[in-house]
Amino acid sequence: MRVVLWHGYLLGGTGSNVYTRQLAREWARAGHDVVVLSQEAHPEAYDLGSAATVRPDVGGFLPVFVLDRYEGFHDVRRVPDCSRAELDAWVDANAAAVRAQLPADLVFANHVLLGGPVGQASGAPFAVKAHGSELEYAIRGNAELATWGADALAGAVATFVGSYHIRRVVEEVCGHVACVHEVPPGVDIEEWLPKARDAALASLLEQAAADPPNPGNANERLADDGNEERLRTFLAGDAPVVVYFGKLIPQKGVHILLEALAGLDASAVVVGFGPERAALEAQAASLGVRALFTGPLEHRHLRHLLALADACVVPSVFPEAFGMVAAEAAAAGCPPIVALHSGLAEVAAGLEEEYPAALRELAGFPTGDALALRDRLARLLALPDADCETVRASARRAAEERWSWAGIARRLLDLAG
């Protein structure tokens, strides 16, 4: 097949960006003719297999769901803060770039808005992947945007959602949509692998040593300066290690994790950037939690950090389309503990099916309940070695059987017809 894979943003960092590049790689590996349209200035930095890349000319304007900084754009605004004329012009520019790549068997567009309208305007058969961010942060509560999204989805050959939760959100926000298929995102089971702790630590320190300088940690998008020595010192010894990685914003629930760790004999590595970092560091200190904040790390670091960690906690209090962090941790053999809501609960259910019956409760905890999370962590970290190895192997098996990218990519094309 020839597939035009449209994504309006970058190829690194957030979930939909990773989703796009992984699909491109797997479809290209499977022998399909793939071209990726995105705003990534450096696509060569990512493994896209043999997929071609195009960067549509959309000027300096970028409509987004959550405000952030984007290289090369001087006018970045939330979708609800843009006029319809501005959004129409942006869609037209992207659709023209898609049409230049036709004919194609399928245009695969990310996000209900603005991917749905781009696919619709291309004139080719198109499918839409709803990621959740556009639904919750842009469309919900905005009747005009909801109608626009519904109209676009009505013309799609398929609408894909990553979980039953997002299927429900699509219905709530856009009304009934035909041809909706639940296909979870995938995890790169070749990249995220179990590894002996000493070997994982050595690899992590090697990657940290290769980080660019960040004097005074002035650039929040870079890893903290001196992380190699900081990690070496912090991870010395035998204390259990709990990892969080993601944005440092209230919706991600990092404060709940810190509350849960108070009084436990465990260390926390908190990976990410965001406006709550200083407050979270202060909270950890006030609770007596031994925590290392590293700034953002890349997959080249995280796959080793998770392989050596004893648990990865996903304490989000806001609905999540899927638990990608948890799936990646599971693939690395690091048992995830997730808040039991939205797409995270579905990841927990997949883990529970693989865990021994007596240990299934360790996969999740009631949302926002720090005491329950403390209980799960205490029980997991106190497991005998044999049970610990069983949980780690079971988590890896769940990732292999449910969330490998090769299987996910194949299912998407099969369902799109």
Same domain, 61 and 172: yes
In contact, 273 and 295? CB cutoff 8 Å: yes
In order along its 417 residues, the chain shows pLDDT tens digits of 999 999 999 998 778 998 999 999 999 999 999 999 999 999 999 999 999 999 999 999 999 998 877 878 989 999 999 999 999 999 999 999 999 999 999 999 999 999 999 999 999 999 999 998 999 999 999 999 999 999 999 999 999 999 899 999 999 999 999 999 999 988 999 999 999 999 999 999 999 999 999 999 999 999 999 999 999 999 998 999 999 999 999 999 999 999 999 999 999 999 999 999 999 999 999 999 999 999 999 999 999 999 999 999 999 999 887 888 999 999 999 999 999 999 899 999 999 999 999 999 999 999 999 999 999 999 999 999 999 999 999 999 999 999 999 999 999 999 998
Q: Let me know whether 173 and 212 are in one domain.
A: no
Are 215 and 113 in the same domain? no
Assign 309 to helix, strand or coil.
coil
Q: Is the dihedral of CA 272, 275, 281, 284 positive or negative?
A: negative
Residues facing residue 338 across a β-bridge = 314, 364
- Whether residue 33 is contained in a domain is answered as yes
- Dihedral angle, C-alpha 302, 307, 310, 314, nearest 10 °: 40
Rounded CA gap, 34 and 399, in Å?
26
User: pLDDT value at position 387?
Assistant: 97
Whether 159 and 239 share a structural domain = no
208 and 159 belong to one structural domain: no
Same domain membership, residue 210 and residue 125: no
pLDDT for the residue 173: 97
Domain count, the chain: 2
User: Within a domain: residue 192?
Assistant: no
| Domain membership flag for residue 35 | yes
Tally Cβ neighbours within 10 Å of residue 288: 9
Name the 3-class secondary structure at 202: helix
Decide if 164 is inside a domain.
Answer: yes
For residues 156 and 10, state if they share a domain: yes
- Residue 191 domain-assigned? no
CA angle 281–269–372, rounded 5-degree value: 85
Query: Do 320 and 393 belong together in one domain?
Result: yes
Same domain? 396 vs 277: yes
* Phi and psi, residue 42, nearest 5°: -130, 65
Angstrom distance (rounded) from CA 17 to CA 48: 12
What is the predicted pLDDT for the residue at 294?
A: 98
Q: Is residue 131 located within the same domain as residue 219?
A: no
Counting other chains too, the contacts that 276-283 makes at CB distance below 8 Å and 24 or more residues apart are 276/248, 276/249, 276/250, 277/220, 277/248, 280/248, 280/254, 280/255, 283/255, 283/258
Say yes or no: 55 and 173 in one domain.
Answer: yes
Instruction: Report if residue 365 sits inside a domain.
Output: yes
Res 322: pLDDT: 83
The answer to whether 8 and 115 are in contact (CB under 8 A) is yes
Which of 182, 215, 232 is at the close of a domain?
A: 182
Q: Show which of 118, 150, 182 is a domain's final residue.
A: 182
Task: Please list the residues that pair with 182 across neighbouring strands.
Answer: 161
CATH of the domain at 110: 3.40.50.2000
Task: Note whether residue 347 is domain-resident.
Answer: yes
Task: Determine contact, residues 327/15, Cβ cutoff 8 Å.
Answer: no
3-state secondary structure 328-343: HHHHCCCCEEEECCHH
Asked if the structure places residue 415 within a domain, the reply is no
Last residue of a domain, one of 155, 182, 209: 182
Domain match, 317 and 391 both: yes
Q: Which domain holds residue 170?
A: 2-182
> Could you tell me how far CA 366 lies from the centroid of its own chain?
21
